[in-house]
Structures are given as structure tokens and as C-alpha cells.
Amino acid sequence: MRNRGYSRDATQCRVKLKELRQAYQKTKESNGRSGTEPRHATSMLRCMQF
């Protein structure tokens, strides 16, 4: 990754993706429960813009 001009390594990217995936799943499960207000995974939406 550094060869391409990025300051992150593969481990940092894996950890970030794992955290985003967990937050998305948590939000998705929360939205599936009745009686709760819908939530949005804002970090996932920002990620999808790239």
C-alpha cells in the first residue's frame, strides 16, 4: 500500500473494515426489531461513497 502512496498498511485496513462491518450488522439487527426507531449506519454510508 505504501508503494501506491497510502499511509496505511494491510492490517489497519482489515481492522477498519471489520469495525465497519460489525457496526453495519449491529445497525441492521437493530432495525429488524419491532418497536425501535430506525437507525442508520452513517460510517457505512460514507464508506460507500468512495
What's the structural domain count of the chain? 1
Domain with 16 in it: 2-48
Q: What is the pLDDT of residue 39?
A: 65
- CA separation for the pair 32, 19 (Å, rounded): 20
At residue 1, does pLDDT exceed 70? Answer: no
Distance CA 39, CA 27 (A): 6
Query: 3-class DSSP state for residue 48?
Result: helix
Q: Could you report the per-residue pLDDT of 3-49, keeping only the tens digit for each?
A: 777 788 888 889 989 998 998 888 888 877 766 666 666 655 566 55
pTM: 0.56
State the pLDDT at residue 3.
Answer: 75
